[in-house]
Amino acid sequence: MPVLEAVGVVKDYVDRGQVTTHALRGVDLAVEKGEFMAIAGPSGSGKSTLLNLLGALDLPTAGTIRVDGRDLASLGAPALADLRRDRIGFVFQAYNLIPVLSAMENAEYVLELRGVPAMERRRRVDELFARMGLAQLRDKRPPKMSGGQQQRVAVARAIACEPAVVLADEPTANLDQATGRSLVDLMHELNRERGVTFVFSTHDPMVLERAERVVRLVDGKVASDERRGAAAAQSA
């Protein structure tokens, strides 16, 4: 069973009763557990819209979105919130860290929402920070971090609760090339070592080179779906 699935998904944006944008026009997509894939395309092609739908942040105009086989249209607002909290990790282009919390507290935040005891939260995040080279940032707050450091903390927050899938919207957009490559290397290692499923929206050639599957959108439709071997992606 796919971790994420879109079937015949249409998304229109409406203003004053009139459709202003046909963002997605009948998209079919299945994401399997353990994939490291990118959704590519020019600005306005529907990349971020599709990611928001797959992450249960929005609902389609028509068609079906399933997460772990569950049709999102059948879930009420509380169940959707629980699903986002428990099954999906998010990495946003703008980081979305809480500025008054330390790096450790930011990474623990979703675990706290899930009711994980404080000692267990700290154990998990300590282990993750050591693995990700973030131990020196434990007590720093986001305003005192570089963009690359903030994005690494955002990745730690996304995977700390061991979600079914991590969705990353243009994760390298605000980073220099070296920092962006380091971040993608890190996520690829987490994918290989922990089996974390990653889905990116991106137009960054470096990210596309590393992806093991690239789905290209053009005008809200899937134009191509290319699968590459893990070895080929690793050597890119």
Dihedral sign, Cα of residue 159, residue 163, residue 164, residue 165: negative
Determine how β-strand 197-202 pairs with β-strand 213-218: unpaired
Bridge partners (DSSP) listed for residue 31: 4
Bridge partners (DSSP) listed for residue 24: 11
Report yes or no: 5 and 66 within 8 Å, Cβ to Cβ: yes
Residue 190 pLDDT exceeds 60:
yes
| Tokens 């607002």 found at | 77
Label residue 236 by pLDDT band (50, 70, 90): low
Residue 107 pLDDT: 94
Question: Which tens digit of pLDDT belongs to each residue from 105-129?
Answer: 999 998 998 899 999 999 989 988 9
Report yes or no: 160 and 125 within 8 Å, Cβ to Cβ: yes
User: Domain segments of the chain: what residues?
Assistant: 4-235
Residue 56 pLDDT: 92
Q: CA of 13: how far to CAs of 25, 52, 83, in Å?
A: 12, 14, 24
Report yes or no: 161 and 192 within 8 Å, Cβ to Cβ: no
Residue 230 pLDDT exceeds 80:
no
Report yes or no: 39 and 199 within 8 Å, Cβ to Cβ: yes
Residue 187 pLDDT exceeds 90:
no
Mean pLDDT to the nearest integer, 215-228: 94
* The one-letter amino acid at 186: L
Report the topology of domain 4-235: Rossmann fold (3.40.50)
Query: What average pLDDT is seen over the chain?
Result: 90
Question: Which tens digit of pLDDT belongs to each residue from 175-185?
Answer: 888 888 888 88
Label residue 172 by pLDDT band (50, 70, 90): confident
| 134: Cα separation from own chain's centroid | 20
From CA 148, how far away is CA 55, in angstroms rounded? 23
pTM: 0.86
Residue 222 pLDDT: 96
For the record, the structure tokens of 110 come out as: 């979703």
2 phi and psi angles, rounded to 5 deg: -60, 150
Residue 50 pLDDT: 95
Report yes or no: 204 and 151 within 8 Å, Cβ to Cβ: no
Residue 1 pLDDT exceeds 60:
yes
